[in-house]
Amino acid sequence: DLQRARDSPSLLGACLKNQVEASQPLVQLARSAFLAATRAYRAFPRELQACFPNDQLHPGHFAASFALRETPRGIARVEKRAAGIDARGKRVGGKGGGKAGGKGSGKA
Domain locations in the chain as residue ranges: 2-83
More confident site: 86 or 65? 65
CA dihedral 97, 99, 104, 105 (to 10 degrees): 100
pLDDT above 50: residue 108? no
Average pLDDT, the chain: 82
What's the pLDDT score for residue 17?
A: 94
pLDDT above 80: residue 2? no
CA distances to 29, 64, 67, 96, 102 from 99, rounded to whole Å, are: 38, 46, 46, 9, 6
Lowest mean pLDDT among 16-30, 37-51, 78-92: 78-92
pLDDT above 60: residue 98? no
Q: Which residues pair with 91 in a beta bridge?
A: 85
**What's the pTM?**
0.70
CA 108 to chain centre: 49
Q: What is the C-alpha separation between 21 and 36, in angstroms, rounded?
A: 19
